[in-house]
Structure 1
Amino acid sequence: MRPHPFGVRRAAALAALAVLATTACAPLAPPAAAPAAARVPMPTSVSLRVIAFNDFHGHLEAGSLSLTLPDPAQPGQVLRVPAGGAAALAGLVKVLREQAPGGAAHSVVVASGDQIGATPLVSALFRHESTIEVLNTLGVDVATVGNHEFDAGQAELARVLGGGCAPNGADAAQRSCALHPYTGARWATVVSNVETADGRTLFAPSWILPVGGVRVGFIGAVTRSTPGIVVASGVAGLRFGDEAEAINRAAAALEAQGVRAIVATVHEGGEIGGAQQPADWNDTRCPGFRGDIVDITRRLSPSVDLVLSAHTHQGYRCLVDGRPVLQALSYGRGVSVADLVIDARTGEVERAHGDSRNLPVFNERTPAAQREAIAAGQPGVWANALRAAQPLPAVAQQVAAYAAAAAPSAQRPVGRIGGPFDRKGRTDSAAGRLIADAQLAATRDPARGGAQLALMNPGGVRSDLACAGTPPCEVSYGEAFTMQPFGNSLVVMTLSGAELKALLEAQQGPGRDAPSVMSPSAGLQYRWVARAPAGQRVQALTLDGRPVQPGTDYRVVVNSFMAEGGDGLAGLRRGRDRLGGPQDLDALVAHLKTTPAPVATPRVEWVE
């Protein structure tokens, strides 16, 4: 398999590697002629601090972001802590590098995919150039891609990473090179399991970092499920292979070059704890650790020493077959840090002597008392970093400039509504039904998937659409974006009538006192009988006035988060004949433009 020269590598690192390659066999001892008193003992080990974050999704501004952490003052209780924002993330990264054993030169910053895609307006409006530039300033050294990097297709991904301005259409909301020429990412991009039709890897499978006389290899991989959750045309001709197998091939290639310390950054993940009892992200007992990353890690070559994971937006610090597996939530609210100790003579990682931690990204909204209480509960080295970290001014200035440039577009009108669409009610809301109708309209055409119905998860509806005064009311682009900010793509799939009914029944799973009801599109109706036994609550299920037949296939459209089983919708993972569609926001805006002032109407009949 021949690597394809796709992605940007840091010139300095390559130059250092080229020099190192010509001296790899040189003895490490001082010259024999040196007097004994002048001999300098060679270090027996080399340290490397690996600082990682995942699923950033362009969250440049902290906004109302927060995370939940154990309350150090009240065992068993939790605190909701304001966290995140690119400036605060960059400030913590800066301190962690400066305080690394051996200094900043013995540190590396890794991004584990979904740096872009499913982003707030301040990133999406500028084709994510704003996010890439901020992460350049933050100092990312190496990254893999996530499924969302492919949302706009492989050609646009090549531009975003490589630089250059995209054409700006006269009526297009998104703008490229809005503030200045765009030069692309300054980090190495590594992905081992995505191949082109001729068998080449789309990106370099690995990257080598020389540090303290040893070499450390970094291998990337993205979830193999990517083709089913992005627009099909964007990944046409690409093959997304088994993550573990691809990483093992790349690891063998690194070992053939004499690299003995290897880190895998994988855009796939897992979770710990349960819905009612979320686990501490630093609890190394990792109760109930499960998910695809567990199987992937178990199948990895013993030469892989550390696994940085992503995709599931969870926090954990686990051991699988003696290897640390880390993830730090999402949106820049936390970082995973691993201090590797490497034998200077063999280049092998001494796993028994390393350390790791997940750390929160405190910001200017984090109360001082809360910040100190949480820092005081950390081991000393990590407490020092949390106390010292301050937002990085250079990043704050970049973010402020892009936020100001986004303001006019946020106010642009995109359509009208005939009344308010809110999220109130039994989770099946008027706002959710508006989105479901928009998604059905975007994929009803047979060429776009032939959808017959749409379902929208309540957690994906992030705001109301207000309608003050006399309808119809104007809706701005910013309002539509705030309602649908994730940038999920649409996925059309086939479910049988029996599978559809089972999916709706699962809205109230075991142990839940009330259902979490998806919003259906126009035409899908049923009666929910709360007092009926589990599995019999969905009654009189019809589509376009006709009973849904258990043995008949139906084309269903949902967002990509739901399609992968998000929000506990495991039944959607069984969907067949999948076809990716447009972005959810684009579908909503198109619906508001083409539909004359839509009005909210109820579709689920409730029976207590």
Structure 2
Amino acid sequence: MRFSRTNLNRRGFLTAGAASVAAFTSMLSFRVNASAGAGELLMVPAEPNPAGRFERLFVLKGDPLAGPISRIVTEAGNPVPAPVLEPGTRRVLRLMHFNDMHNHITDMHGKKGDTHRMAQIVKRVSAARAAAGEDEIVLLLSGGDDHTGSVFDELLGWSPEEYVADAGYRVNSAAGVDVAVLGNHEFDRGAEMLRIGIEKDAAFPVLTANVHGSAHLRRDRDYVAAAVGEVKGLRIGFVGLTTQVDTRVGQPDDPGMNVASPVQAIRNVMPALAEVSDVVVILSHCGYGTGQSRSGKAGAVRMIGEGDFDIAAAAGELTDKPVVLIGGHSHDRLNGEGLNPDNVIQGVLMTQAEANGKYLGEIAMSVGADQGRKAWFTHVGLHPVKPRDQRVAEDDPTFGALEQAGDYDAAFEAAHIDPLREALKGKLAESIGMVTAGDAVSTETVMADRYGRENALLNFMNDALVARSGEFPNGTVDLALFNATAILSGVADGPLSFGQWYDVMPYADQVHVAEMTGAQIRDMVQSNAKRIVRAEEEAELDLAGFVSRGFLHFSEGLRYRIEPGASAGETRAEEITLLGRPIEEMLERKFRVAINTYIRLGGFSEAWNGQAIGAGVAGEIKGMDLRGLDYKDTGLVYRNEIIAFIRDRGGISAEAGARLDGRLSVG
């Protein structure tokens, strides 16, 4: 979305006096090349999403990180007047929201049928907007991570020449999203591809106040720190925040991009934004909690750094205006049964709608003129998005909880998602081989084993990459590794399509080659051993979810045994051999190791960056830091190399490497 001036004759401030409207409009007369001064943000008119609900939209330009923002000014240089609602006036503001959609706009399944996630959301939001009374406002918001997770990502491509569509942003625009925040996975294919997606397919402003320094993505051109929308006389301020912990900074093609403290950003921006708003909405893609966050089973524990608790605590002290925080990143289901008092900090309500389009969140509040936070909450909750399973009969007790034809907006699906599916059709259905490896590579087995035992599918993948390295631009590698959380399913015997393999490894990893000594490999294996899910933990963990300890699997050239001991701190790797020889004989030798992007960048919350291993590992055990190794970038996509190997071998089989060979044993 490029930010431009709107037609100032558009309707706005419907309940304000005519003089107030005229005064505010006159203050927005334009200066040529207007820019914000020190301690200022410049309020610039922009085009709202035509499918959304803003009557007027303004983006706030300027540097939110240089220091506290003392005032927000118009392009004429005048301070923006405080919002005006007639005395006694109330508005009901209904915020519909989702987060971490990860391009699950429609989930396609050959046996269960298709789950039309975004079309279900559109049906509910459209109904709410149609039923809204004269004093009611319904907005639709995205909490970030609209990318990375389904085959629709392939339409974005890896270079400008490959671009077809930004499926997530294109569908969000058609769905009527009013504002979105940049999540960490927006950057997976590089800031250049994100820039193109925003420019071509985002009809709404994307926000982040704490990302800075990108060579490809420019603040105030491609994104802004904050925005202000007006509907029915109500002025709503928005500020976006992106996680520091898991965003891909330090990439070779964009070394200057970084993410500042979200807490400092909110401290800088909040007072001035609140001053010109009736209500402030924080779109925080930083994660629920603070530091190491635990929600539900321990598998959800992850390092989030400065999270929503810290942001809410800081924001709540800076204004007495109503403030809500719509979260993301940590995939938490919050306030599903109504407001949980634990989710209010310093008067700021925090909520989140899990992930992958499983829920649509809703916050409804009644805002009175000059009432601040007095009696402003009315409702908070989640609406389930129904999964499809066409195999279930109508008389089955679960039938009503499953998607049926009337549960989604079929016209929306046909107009906006079917064309994307058509563009993908050939790619999705393309056969890449046959699977004949049996239960060893089934989803049930792969999910159960990936966090602490040898895994046949990961053996196959790592060995495949070593085999493919004969065609790498920088030469062959001795070893390959891959992190357990990067595979999300197994495969079943029978024909294997591109789409099915995409479901196994959806993340946008490239192949990097590091030079490591035998001593460094030994230290890496010792760090890895402390990350396993121990036998006594398995019953308490959700092994189908993320156990974000950074456990790695290796190619066949590295073999070892894990001795669990009495605790993670006592766990040791024993009998380590490297290319058939004891590691002790190889400490001074140098080896070439293929490493995926996520681990090359330190594994973020999975602590291959010198930070303490989290996700329930006791004892503040520091992980090894892999970021400073000598890397050569191949420019190759990890997934594509595995697919090429599958094609070459005719599929996935024990003979092709999908088997257990004892390279890892435990106990």
The 1:509/1:194 distance shift into structure 2, 3 A limit, reads: same
Matched, 1:252 2:311: no
2:663 alignment counterpart: 604
Query: Aligned partners of 2:504 and 2:131: how far apart in 1?
Result: 41
Which of 213, 221, 230 is residue 210 of structure 1 equivalent to?
A: 230
Matched, 1:431 2:457: yes
1:10 alignment counterpart: 48
- The Cα of 1:52 is off from its aligned counterpart by 1.1
Matched, 1:539 2:571: no
2:362 alignment counterpart: 337
- The Cα of 1:356 is off from its aligned counterpart by 1.2
Report if aligned partners of 1:305, 1:351 keep a CA contact under 8 Å in 2.
Answer: no
Query: Aligned partners of 2:526 and 2:483: how far apart in 1?
Result: 15
Bigger Cα displacement from structure 2, 5-14 vs 330-339: 5-14
Report if aligned partners of 1:530, 1:607 keep a CA contact under 8 Å in 2.
Answer: yes
User: What does the per-residue CA deviation read over 1:5-37, in whole Å, with 9 as the maximum and x for residues that have no partner?
Assistant: 99984177887358x9899579766xxxxxxxx
- The Cα of 1:558 is off from its aligned counterpart by 5.0
- The Cα of 1:264 is off from its aligned counterpart by 0.7
1:311 alignment counterpart: 329
1:121 alignment counterpart: 151
Matched, 1:394 2:411: yes
Matched, 1:159 2:188: no
Report if aligned partners of 2:481, 2:594 keep a CA contact under 8 Å in 1.
Answer: yes
Q: What residue ranges of structure 1 are gaps of 5+ in the alignment?
A: 30-41, 66-81, 164-183, 280-287, 376-385, 469-474
1:47 alignment counterpart: 92
Matches within 5 A, 1:301-450: 302-303=318-319, 305-317=323-335, 318-345=343-370, 348-350=372-374, 353-363=377-387, 365=389, 390-397=407-414, 398-412=416-430, 422-423=441-442, 424=445, 426-427=449-450, 428-438=454-464
Q: Given residue 625 of structure 2, which amino acid in structure 1 is its aligned partner?
A: G
Query: Aligned partners of 1:344 and 1:551: how far apart in 2?
Result: 71
2:297 alignment counterpart: 275
Query: Aligned partners of 1:588 and 1:7: how far apart in 2?
Result: 48
- The Cα of 1:261 is off from its aligned counterpart by 1.9
2:595 alignment counterpart: 557
2:625 alignment counterpart: 575
The 1:100/1:536 distance shift into structure 2, 3 A limit, reads: same
Partner secondary structure for residue 314 of structure 1: coil
The 1:479/1:216 distance shift into structure 2, 3 A limit, reads: closer
The 1:221/1:245 distance shift into structure 2, 3 A limit, reads: same
Partner secondary structure for residue 56 of structure 2: helix
Q: Given residue 244 of structure 2, which amino acid in structure 1 is its aligned partner?
A: R
Report if aligned partners of 2:49, 2:173 keep a CA contact under 8 Å in 1.
Answer: no
1:86 alignment counterpart: 118
Report percent identity of matched pairs.
Answer: 18
Which of 149, 155, 166 is residue 186 of structure 2 equivalent to?
A: 149
Matched, 1:484 2:505: yes
1:135 alignment counterpart: 172
Query: Aligned partners of 2:666 and 2:388: how far apart in 1?
Result: 48
Query: Aligned partners of 1:7 and 1:447: how far apart in 2?
Result: 50
2:13 alignment counterpart: none
User: What does the per-residue CA deviation read over 1:533-562, in whole Å, with 9 as the maximum and x for residues that have no partner?
Assistant: 763464212333354579999978356399
The 1:536/1:135 distance shift into structure 2, 3 A limit, reads: closer
Q: What residue ranges of structure 2 are gaps of 5+ in the alignment?
A: 1-34, 59-72, 158-164, 336-342, 544-550, 607-613
Query: Aligned partners of 1:512 and 1:142: how far apart in 2?
Result: 41
Bigger Cα displacement from structure 2, 322-331 vs 302-311: 302-311
Report if aligned partners of 1:528, 1:606 keep a CA contact under 8 Å in 2.
Answer: yes
Q: Given residue 599 of structure 1, which amino acid in structure 2 is its aligned partner?
A: G
Report if aligned partners of 2:466, 2:476 keep a CA contact under 8 Å in 1.
Answer: no
Which of 519, 525, 529 is residue 559 of structure 2 equivalent to?
A: 525
User: What does the per-residue CA deviation read over 1:145-184, in whole Å, with 9 as the maximum and x for residues that have no partner?
Assistant: 1111112222221211111xxxxxxxxxxxxxxxxxxxx1
The 1:102/1:492 distance shift into structure 2, 3 A limit, reads: farther
Partner secondary structure for residue 334 of structure 2: strand
User: What does the per-residue CA deviation read over 1:297-344, in whole Å, with 9 as the maximum and x for residues that have no partner?
Assistant: 333353371111111222124222331111111111112211133232
Matches within 5 A, 1:584-603: 584-592=638-646, 598-601=656-659, 602-603=661-662
Query: Aligned partners of 1:107 and 1:305: how far apart in 2?
Result: 17
- Residue-pair matches, total: 530
Partner secondary structure for residue 537 of structure 2: coil
Query: Aligned partners of 1:321 and 1:119: how far apart in 2?
Result: 35
The 1:511/1:396 distance shift into structure 2, 3 A limit, reads: same
Query: Aligned partners of 1:449 and 1:213: how far apart in 2?
Result: 65
Query: Aligned partners of 1:415 and 1:503: how far apart in 2?
Result: 33
More relative contact order in 1 or in 2 (CA 8 Å, sep 6+)?
1
Report if aligned partners of 2:527, 2:624 keep a CA contact under 8 Å in 1.
Answer: no
Partner secondary structure for residue 106 of structure 1: strand
Report if aligned partners of 2:245, 2:304 keep a CA contact under 8 Å in 1.
Answer: no
Bigger Cα displacement from structure 2, 544-553 vs 209-218: 544-553
Report if aligned partners of 2:271, 2:318 keep a CA contact under 8 Å in 1.
Answer: no
1:292 alignment counterpart: 307
Report if aligned partners of 1:443, 1:557 keep a CA contact under 8 Å in 2.
Answer: no
Query: Aligned partners of 2:582 and 2:43: how far apart in 1?
Result: 55
RMSD between superposed Cα atoms in Å: 4.9
Query: Aligned partners of 1:141 and 1:132: how far apart in 2?
Result: 12
2:482 alignment counterpart: 455
Partner secondary structure for residue 482 of structure 2: strand
Q: Given residue 585 of structure 1, which amino acid in structure 2 is its aligned partner?
A: R
Which of 521, 534, 542 is residue 509 of structure 1 equivalent to?
A: 534
TM-score calculated relative to the size of structure 2: 0.65
2:138 alignment counterpart: 107
Partner secondary structure for residue 316 of structure 1: coil
Partner secondary structure for residue 280 of structure 2: strand
Report if aligned partners of 1:112, 1:267 keep a CA contact under 8 Å in 2.
Answer: yes
The 1:325/1:542 distance shift into structure 2, 3 A limit, reads: farther
Query: Aligned partners of 2:639 and 2:552: how far apart in 1?
Result: 18
The 1:17/1:513 distance shift into structure 2, 3 A limit, reads: closer
The 1:505/1:210 distance shift into structure 2, 3 A limit, reads: same
The 1:278/1:130 distance shift into structure 2, 3 A limit, reads: closer
Query: Aligned partners of 1:269 and 1:447: how far apart in 2?
Result: 38
Report if aligned partners of 2:250, 2:257 keep a CA contact under 8 Å in 1.
Answer: no
- The Cα of 1:502 is off from its aligned counterpart by 3.7
1:285 alignment counterpart: none
Query: Aligned partners of 2:649 and 2:478: how far apart in 1?
Result: 18
Query: Aligned partners of 1:409 and 1:363: how far apart in 2?
Result: 24
1:32 alignment counterpart: none
Q: Given residue 554 of structure 2, which amino acid in structure 1 is its aligned partner?
A: P
Query: Aligned partners of 2:490 and 2:327: how far apart in 1?
Result: 30
Partner secondary structure for residue 441 of structure 2: coil
Query: Aligned partners of 2:559 and 2:266: how far apart in 1?
Result: 47
The 1:525/1:17 distance shift into structure 2, 3 A limit, reads: closer
Query: Aligned partners of 1:502 and 1:419: how far apart in 2?
Result: 31
